[in-house]
Amino acid sequence: MTTQTAPNQAPPAHFGILQIVNGAYVAGAVSCLAQFGIPDLLEDGAKSAEELAVETGAQPEALYRLMRATACVGVLAEGSDKKFSQTPMSAVLRTNAKPSLRGLAIMTGREWHERGWSKLEYCVRTGKQAIDEIYGMTIFEYLKQNPEESRIFDEAMTGLSSIDGPAVADGYNFTGIHNIVDVAGGRGLLLAMLLERNAHLKGTLYEVPHVLEGAKTGPLKPYMDRCTLTSGDMFSSVPAGADAYIMKHIIHDWPDDACIKILSACRQGVNPGGNLLVVDSVIQPGNDFSPGKFLDLQMVILPGGRERTEPEFRELLEASGWKLSRIIPTAAGDSIVEGVLA
């Protein structure tokens, strides 16, 4: 039974709620499609479910039903011959897409991620993190102990960096900065983009040892003559003597007391006149739709941080010896929160 509304009449409230709740089904189906690698297998043209089932080891009828469902939201297109072809949205789920969101799509369907969201009520009730409750450890400890999940997580973060990294590189003037440290910069994709666009710039990637291993042959490889890889504990110290410290999607991972330790370490290490650059969502007042407000719920679930408002960033920087100078929105939706010496 379909719900019909008169022209110019808003749909009933239950229709909107059904759309929202059904979003979980859509996300699960797209995650499964990415896990099977179907978009990769359609690069050379349309194929039937039977053909794809042979390549993936799936049950043909079930695979057809999966693809039919994703096609109705624009992820694949089904022809009259029941063959499926690529669409712009399914193409983004290819492994070699630029950007590729395959890793992110797969990650959203992993057991630890889904179990985390199933514990949202527990998190809201107690203020504690879901992964700690489920596995008895933090998300970062869990990923360290589960290499395959860590690989998927890294792939997801790299995919996101391929979107917001260029927006950061294009959204800020790095002319007066000669040496920059990317704190907890993963495999170095953001830093590589900064070095690519700023020939005068030298950089340091500061990460934990097991992440740095993957960075040696990653995006920074062409720039190793201008780049240093250093490991350590960002909560106690960072490499000293930089003109700027940049952190993308790092501060939002942690509660205020932990953030103050990181930012204070940067304050201690920065050169005179140097800057702090925090790349995160900045939550705006009002009821307009905001992906950042749902990302904030992800932080409630794991790892225990938060997305912050401008006043909250201002207080955080002041507590760490910095002064909020300005907030620069980027084309990717994040903002660059610039701090100067207090």
Per-residue pLDDT reduced to its tens digit, 240-258: 999 999 999 999 999 999 9
Mean pLDDT of 284-294: 95
pLDDT at 329 over 60: yes
Q: How far is CA 205 from CA 132, 156, 283, 327, in A?
A: 29, 19, 28, 24
Q: How far is the C-alpha of 228 from the C-alpha of 231, rounded, in Å?
A: 10
Average pLDDT of 90-118? 97
Strand duo 227-231 + 282-283: pairing: unpaired
What mean pLDDT is predicted for residues 285-310? 96
Residue 5 has pLDDT above 70, yes or no: no
Q: Is it the case that residue 2 has pLDDT exceeding 60?
A: no
Provide DSSP, 136-177: SS-HHHHHHH-HHHHHHHHHHHHHHHHHHHHHHHHHS--TT-
Structure tokens at 47: 């194929």
Predicted confidence at residue 1, as pLDDT, reads: 43
Residues 211-238 pLDDT 10s: 888 788 889 999 999 999 999 999 999 9
Q: What pLDDT sits at residue 179?
A: 98
Question: Residue 8: pLDDT band by 50, 70, 90 thresholds?
Answer: confident
Average pLDDT estimate for 63-87:
98
Phi, psi dihedrals of residue 291, rounded to the nearest 5°: -55, -30
Which amino acid, 213? E
- Could you tell me if 246 and 182 are in contact, meaning their C-beta atoms sit under 8 angstroms apart? yes
* CA gap 85, 99 in Å, rounded: 20
Average pLDDT, the chain: 95
**Model confidence at 45: pLDDT above 70:** yes
- pLDDT score of 294: 96
Could you give the residue numbers annotated as active site? Answer: 252
R_g (Cα) of the chain, nearest Å = 22
pLDDT for res 30: 98
pLDDT tens per residue, range 147-200: 999 999 989 998 999 999 999 999 999 999 999 999 999 889 999 999 999 999
**Among residues of the chain, what percentage have pLDDT more than 70?**
98
Decide if pLDDT at 263 tops 50. Answer: yes
Average of per-residue pLDDT across 87-109: 97
- Residues, the chain, total? 342
Residue 5's H or E segment, with its range, is: none
> Which residue ranges form the domains of the chain, and what is each CATH number?
13-106 (1.10.10.10), 161-341 (3.40.50.150)
Residue 107, pLDDT score: 97
Segment 39-66 shows an average pLDDT of 98
